[in-house]
Structure 1
Amino acid sequence: MLEYNQFNEPLVSVVIPTYNRPEYLKQAIASAIQQTYQNIEIIVSDNCSPENPQPIIESFNDKRIRFWRQQQNIGMLANQMHAFKMAQGKYVASLHDDDMWNEDFLAKLVPPLEENPELILAFCDQYIIDAQSEINHALTEENTQAYKRDKLTQGVYQTFAKIGLVDKSIPTAAACVIRNNIIDWDSIPSEVGGMWDLYLTYLCCISGYGAYYHPERLTRYRTHEQTDTMLSGSKDAQAKIRKAKSEIFCYKIFSQDERLKEFQPYFEQKCLEAHTTLAIGLLRNQQTAAARPYLWQALSQQKFNLRTIAALTISFTPRPLANQLLGISK
């Protein structure tokens, strides 16, 4: 029976959506299999990779792995949500196909949830690793501080909207275990795109349940050139446009939620910043006319923003010079 093992441990669903990362996928699956907490199912949902990863799955010879292959590429979010909806466990944990867990990740995050039914999630800190799986200690420390996990004490946070949505301390996509039955996976709209983890944090924040923080670094988050974060931060115009649209959608919903009224100014400011980001992406994509309305809106609702003013100025600059300023070679 999957639901309980000999130690009466509840089933945890490990969700691994994947696309075209066979070597990393092997490492991710191995880190799930090697968990000291053994009552798990591992759901691998492949988004129609050019090379079918089924041989990789079979090489583990582990009956706890459930494999699904999409017949066509349905997009990152749809594949992720499909995997979540397959989950049968009392708890669910997302593991990116290019990340890894320490072997005691589940062993340390599941017990607090079992001991306190008023908690919806438990999360931890994480290491940052490079493409070769080496820990980058400087970047790890920088990441911990950037998301203010260095300021958090271990234990229960009965309300955690600031931690989750302002400080963004909770890595729901990589270092978090969630009580499965509280989340309606169908309620996550497609417009959230790559910001699905922030939207999931939002659903957890407004659930009325609490969160638990374990300060150890129990997961390994990989940074490399093909992550969406890296792409959107570089000169990839389409990635920047996608991310900005997702941010605008999310922050509009957050700012309109009366339960989060105290954070409304922050959400509105983030929404305006995303307008500028979207405009910059459109400028890089040679869509000047489409970019300007976002810049005017951002400018009209902010007292002074140098980034927005600079982008608006570039939109009226002759194309050859504008391309140079935007770092476009053509």
Structure 2
Amino acid sequence: MMENYNLKKPLISVIIPTYNRPEYLKVAIASAVQQTYQNIEIIISDNCSTTNTQAIIESFSDTRIRYWRQPTNVGMFANQMHAFQMARGKYVASLHDDDMWNEDFLEKLIPPLEEHPDLILAFCDQYIIDANGVIDDAGTEENTRSYKRDQLAQGVHQNLVKIGLVDKSIPTAAACVIRNDFVDWDSIPPEVGGMWDIYLAYMCSISGHGTYYYSERLTCYRAHEQTDTMLSGSRDAHAKIRKAQNEIFCYERFMEDERLKEFKSHFKDKWLEAHTTLAIGLLRTQQVAQARPYLWCALNEQKFNLRTIAALTLSFTPQQLANHFLKKAK
């Protein structure tokens, strides 16, 4: 009976890229396996972890799991894209190895896409949880407000540029189901790096297709010390540099696209912010000469920006004194 039930429902590809997070990975896989929507394949792409990922997968004894281990560490972006390229489903959904889904996540997001074949994706709101999986109520409410999902009505929306790229309401990496054949995964440039999710939102935005918003919180995003935004010291500086470089590439692409000209000034502001962010990362790693051109560019274009002026001033400050202030810079 279950096989007949599944045959009536389209196949969903659940994408889980992973690297050295065995305990979190168990939770993520469990949340996929336990979905009330059963016709799924679970694609786990392991970026050459030093932990025994295969043993974790075998512990589930679930034939729907497809496991791929990279022979060497290919980087986060390449590992993520490889998993998408393995997908055979009508729809794909990305699940971070440290996040989790409610058991009815797919059951609630697939029907709107089946009902509206012109929609490219469906998404929902999400909880913020800590390293131990405890819901952060204040953080959850702040996240919903920050991405303006509190202002979105449940249902079909057509203006994906505003929703996806300006408000960034669509969490394409964690709380979204996408129609697979509407996306050319090979066309996502490697320069987007960790910003692949916002670039994916860009591709969906210019596709001419709409989206469906389901206003319930159906996923959990884990905020913990291993995420780039929570790192400290030198690792934080290098994460800041990578992220800023990726942002500069993305926002430059958005600025150049005539289809997005209504919001060009917004993207330019974000592009300039990324210049300052990159410069601060370079200053933290004592690459002062490399940092200044980004600061001068930002200052010339923005005319007056306190954050940029402060960073530029620190680039002329003795290193020991500058480090004290750079530790607090964002």
* TM-score where L is the length of structure 2: 0.96
Q: Figure out how many residues of one structure are paired with residues of the other and give that number.
A: 326
Does the CA-based 8 Å contact 1:232-1:243 persist in structure 2? Answer: no
Q: Does 1:99 align with 2:107?
A: no
Q: Can you list the C-alpha shifts for 1:286-312, whole angstroms capped at 9, x where unaligned?
A: 000000000000000012100000000
Does the CA-based 8 Å contact 2:229-2:236 persist in structure 1? Answer: no
Q: Name the CA distance, whole Å, in 2 between partners of 1:294 and 1:74.
A: 29
1:318 CA displacement: 1.5
Does the CA-based 8 Å contact 1:4-1:10 persist in structure 2? Answer: no
Does the CA-based 8 Å contact 2:94-2:176 persist in structure 1? Answer: yes
Q: Name the CA distance, whole Å, in 1 between partners of 2:91 and 2:233.
A: 33
1:131 CA displacement: 0.5
Does the CA-based 8 Å contact 1:4-1:11 persist in structure 2? Answer: no
Q: How does 1:1-330 map to 2 (within 5 A)?
A: 5-6=5-6, 8-231=8-231, 236-327=236-327
Structure 2: stretches of 5+ with no match in the other structure: none
Q: Can you list the C-alpha shifts for 1:100-125, whole angstroms capped at 9, x where unaligned?
A: 00000000000000011110000000
Q: Can you list the C-alpha shifts for 1:151-173, whole angstroms capped at 9, x where unaligned?
A: 00001012211110010000000
1:4 CA displacement: 8.2
1:320 CA displacement: 1.9
Q: Name the CA distance, whole Å, in 2 between partners of 1:182 and 1:77.
A: 20
Sequence identity, in percent? Answer: 75
SS in 2 for 1:301: helix
Q: Can you list the C-alpha shifts for 1:135-160, whole angstroms capped at 9, x where unaligned?
A: 11111001000100000000101221
Q: Name the CA distance, whole Å, in 2 between partners of 1:195 and 1:6.
A: 34
Q: Name the CA distance, whole Å, in 2 between partners of 1:48 and 1:15.
A: 16
Structure 1: stretches of 5+ with no match in the other structure: none
Amino acid at match of 1:59: S
* TM-score where L is the length of structure 1: 0.96
Summarize the Cα distance change of 1:94–1:221 in structure 2 as closer, same or farther, 3 Å threshold. Answer: same
Does the CA-based 8 Å contact 2:234-2:285 persist in structure 1? Answer: no
1:52 CA displacement: 2.6
Amino acid at match of 1:320: Q
